[in-house]
Structure 1
Amino acid sequence: MTMRKYSEVDVFSPTPYLGNPLAVVHDADGLTGDQMQRFAKWTNLAETTFLLQPTDPAADYRLRIFSATQEFPFAGHPTLGSAFAWLESGGVPKNNGTIVQECGAGLVTVRVENQRFAFAAPRLTRYGPVEESLVHRVAAALGVPWGHILDTSWLVNGPEWIGVRLSTAQEVLSLNPDPMDLGSLSIGVVGPHVPGHDIQFEVRAFLGGDPVWEDPVTGSLNAGLAQWMTDTGIADRHYVAAQGTAIGYQGRVHVAVGDGEIWVGGDVTSCIRGEVNL
């Protein structure tokens, strides 16, 4: 085993401990995938990431992303949190102000403005209507009448999200999913706040299991929702979404669409810095 730099950061909230936590292992070259997976299971956080030397000369670093049970080619809050941790530990981008991350989904650009980091959303690999029989199952799992669902779409960019649109933020906040009906589905639900509110949308993310696990703040889901809602004219090209409200968090996701890119951003704060024997 080797002592390696280790960080825990909070992503998507300007207030520490009210966003989504992330564990980051630095200088992880030499670790096997099995070792990474075992450590990610041990941290018991939504995701644990491992910073490695890039294999693509255009990248600043390479990233592997693990939940407690599997590896992901891409995930949003791990991308932002890892970029922050890499900079904080002395990383120097090849291009000033822009970080290029290599991961399973390819190269992902991250731009930095003070404490706020934003990634350029990767292309959706599955994007389109959800079959009607599955929409009925989703409605039952969420505990809402089928007719209350305004629209649905597959939003796959690594995680296989099903996006669901409801009429109001209050409907989103009132959801209490049934784990028996949700099964293995990953469902992201969005609804608008009343005009004039400082937050435009409320988002919740449910991942199937028993019990259902709700993610505090989800970058990959918000990236998919941003493309869907701006494509369909539901959202402006700049908006802020809240997530985690129903479970005691204060996640804030800042979305900006321009120059052919969807930028998904949020504040990142340092919580723990030290070493891990791994």
Structure 2
Amino acid sequence: MFKKVILSTTFALMLAACGQDGGSASAQNQASQPTSTPTETVKLIDKINNKQTLLVGTMGTYAPFTYHETDGKLTGYDVEVTRAVAEKLGVQVEFKETPWDAMMAGLKGGRFDIVANQVALTSPERQAMFDKAEPYSWSGKMIVARADHAPIAKIEDIKGVKTAVMLASNYDEVAKQMGADLVHTDTMAQGLLLVQQKRADITLNDELSLLDYLKKNPDSGLKEVWRTPSAEKLGAGLVINKNEPEALAKINEAMAELKADGTLKKLGEQFFGEDVSLH
């Protein structure tokens, strides 16, 4: 009788353990089986050819590239470019909003077919795992100053100039290397305000983000005085998993058509006031 009680208790504990999320070794092993990975069962080119809905990873919180309007509709430059590409391909897209730090892992794991979130794909590690389609935007650094400020010929000219930059950002590092008189901020908006208040002479930040600000605030009293030369800009494109050459070719063809028919120009002017697809 005592043995039966022990066996019954042990069996009950085993059942309880298997019922917990991720609590059993067998559940973890099943989750790691290669046959459960969506990218191995359905290739992107097959989804395109069969006119299936493509799943697109994006943040939804990164204006003006991917964000929600006041009525809740998801929009933004990257979002609308993706919709235009889908129309050229003859497919529908469903956006899956996700934090940036989980986005590329989601693409690799098959949660998304495509990522549309201003990805330049510059690191060798990511280039080994993913492919980037032809860029739909090009960006670099930009310097904004008050309207009466003289143009700046080259980035080195900010040496000794009181420059507002976000603390610990890439722009902070660049300004430091150039010998600027640093005024640190937490956000881009704070840097622009400091320039308006004459507590800094210039601010250095992302070109597309600053173009968006200047377009939305034509009476800000600020203007562009310098931006990265074209040859040094980085291009952002739609990103897919590696080893999908046919799908990549179809996306590139669609992007070329959007550039040729003026769609990219129109969208660039809508969100930034200029065509940002030009290199």
Shared fold (TM-score greater than 0.5)? no
Relative to the length of structure 1, the TM-score reads 0.25
**Larger strand proportion, structure 1 or 2?**
1
Query: Larger Rg: 1 or 2?
Result: 2
Relative to the length of structure 2, the TM-score reads 0.25
Question: Larger % of helix: which?
Answer: 2
